[in-house]
Amino acid sequence: MVDTEFHLSPIVAGAWRLAEWQLSVEQRIAWIEGTIERGLTSFDHADIYGGYQVEALFGEALAASPGLRERLQLVTKCGIKLTGAARPSHESHCYDTSPAHIVASVENSLRALRTDRIDLLLIHRPDALMDADEVAASFERLRRDGKVLHFGASNFAPAPFELLNDRIRLQTNQVECSPLQMAPIHDGTFDQAQRLRARPMIWSPLAGGRLFSEDSPAAHRVRWVMGEIGARWGGVSATTLAMAWLLRLPCRPHPVIGSRRLGVAEEAMAALGLRLSSDDWYRIWAAAAGHEVA
């Protein structure tokens, strides 16, 4: 029986690099199973990932391992059109939230993922031509047909999110946030999420790896402070601390990690048992901002 209640795992597994990993079907199954065993049961996709190839690679693994689909939640996105051989009908790289494109994208994703339903569908980017009534009607149709269970947005500022949420209940807004990208903390995005009780998803919570490698004053300051805090906590890794810093936010976000290494999943999940004090949280904030709070 399909569970129609909305839920995501505390940390979400991002599949956007799956094509780059060049894994066999057996290796993909092992990665999915290993990720689930570590508590990450939700998998984040988008139709365009890997040049429209990632969903099919993931779906091939699901088809080869009966029963695996019922152990996980599938998140995917639509609304960006890329040109190329995978979509010869696309005339230009643009956004498209028309009913025809949304429905066609979902049908393509269902076929690629080898599934009868998507647990959560997001509009990938805000579209200046988005008609909220039309999008809501498309969503209602997809839900009525059992093809999509829940809906949300990705990379939306508060105003367009408010507009679409006024027409149909949105479960999340997936945005970029890390100690090196703190805009959603201050621009109203996370305040809105808390007000609407729509827990955000966070992409690039480790700043795409820049948190560990970027040669900038902010990155150096953050690494130094996190190293000091981690040592005080008995050698907690920077990955765990970065996740704990995000999980401390009252909007209760779901960070999305995209690593082949299962050890990263373990380090991310370890953050669930670490609650930063407000002093330590603001020490990391101040290191990133380059100044203390006013």
Q: Is the pLDDT of residue 2 over 70?
A: no
Q: Is the pLDDT of residue 4 over 80?
A: no
* CATH number of the domain within which 164 lies: 3.20.20.100
Residue 287 domain-assigned (yes or no): no
H and E: helices and strands count for the chain: 14, 10
User: Predicted confidence band at 215 (pLDDT cuts at 50, 70, 90)?
Assistant: very high
**Domain coverage including residue 154:** 1-171
Q: Is the pLDDT of residue 249 over 70?
A: yes
Q: Is the pLDDT of residue 1 over 80?
A: no
Q: Report pLDDT for 191.
A: 98
The helix-helix angle for 99-113 and 54-64 (nearest 10°) equals 40
Mean of pLDDT values over 220-231: 96
Residue 246 domain-assigned (yes or no): no
Please confirm, yes or no, whether 95 is among the known catalytic residues. Answer: no
Q: How many domains are there within the chain?
A: 1
Residues 49, 52, 95, 282: which is the catalytic one? 49
CB under 8 A, 24+ apart: contacts of 91-95: 95/124, 95/125, 95/126, 95/127, 95/128, 95/129
Residue 191 domain-assigned (yes or no): no
* Average pLDDT over the chain, rounded to an integer: 96
Q: Report pLDDT for 101.
A: 97
Tokens, residue 286: 């101040």
